[in-house]
Structure 1
């Protein structure tokens, strides 16, 4: 089952143009997620998806998977691996509503750690997702500093997982053919 499972990792909105999702970086990332998820389903045979439930990429990826499952009718599943129950407590109300909507529509919800905030629980959650996946889809700007996404990418490399990297720095790149 692991070989046909994809997990997502990626930056929070503050590293993707801000919390207004109409910005060009967020639009680019969502378009790339849509295309890569569809390709993985149609050409890679992936059927199980795992999202971490955080703001930004986790939310956008989960919504794309739910779109393909619920609106397009593809036979796929979405699991939410939350670091702990209540991760959304300090979020804005709109973000909470979105999170709960995703949770309600998931095929499975896993709280990886006991309730209560601790930064290390995000790392435990990320490792659990990678351990369950054959492919990691990362929206990552290449930063290996204190980025949770960077740590997850490094762990996925160590575990020899296949990866698709969507680099948000290329949001305004153009390619000329011919």
Structure 2
């Protein structure tokens, strides 16, 4: 694993808790890749509310995104947008391998690299793809976070395995159901 901490200038703020995001890829969401769908717009609004609540009520100041398509991307973009309101928050991109976005469409690659260019910390878990690099990334995020924000419908998935791992480490898990928009906090 190697890290690149990007320079930034901000007012000093007391470091707070760290939150990692986990969630479904677009093909596993009710609206799939259609981000203009009202369900996607509502999901992003609910996700934003939870992130603001974490900042204001739980003193979360550092967010970790695994940079996958879907929830990871939405959450990272929300954090970057919230920096104008909360200049002390930071975004870390936890990248499973250097080629994570290599096979994505140009549109999604540009979005990915735009987020990475704006993040405060870039952590690349390994140089080359391996069958377990996504799982290593998920474990890294859970181990380096105080709490987890999961957009998960409760069905078996990589997100479910990440939530199970977080629970085994007694991390606080906030779950937003992408179908009902209900939130549970454990």
The CA deviation at 1:15 is 1.3
Q: Can you list the C-alpha shifts for 1:45-86, whole angstroms capped at 9, x where unaligned?
A: 1100000000000000000000111x3243100000010001
SS for the counterpart of 2:96 is: strand
- Aligned runs of 1:1-178 on 2, under 5 Å? 4-16=17-29, 17-69=31-83, 71-115=84-128, 117-144=129-156, 147-171=157-181
Pick the structure with more helix per residue: 1
Q: Can you list the C-alpha shifts for 1:64-123, whole angstroms capped at 9, x where unaligned?
A: 000111x324310000001000100000100000000000000011111232x2331100
The CA deviation at 1:166 is 0.3
Q: Is the 8 A contact 1:28 1:168 kept in 2?
A: no
Q: Distance in 2 between matches of 1:112 and 1:81?
A: 7
TM-score w.r.t. the length of structure 1 is: 0.89
Provide the aligned length of Structure 1 versus Structure 2.
168
Pairwise CA RMSD:
1.7
Structure 1 unmatched runs, 5+: 174-178
Q: Is the 8 A contact 2:21 2:66 kept in 1?
A: yes
Q: Distance in 2 between matches of 1:86 and 1:2?
A: 31
Q: Distance in 1 between matches of 2:110 and 2:99?
A: 13
Residue in structure 1 matched with residue 9 of structure 2 by the alignment: none
The CA deviation at 1:3 is 6.6
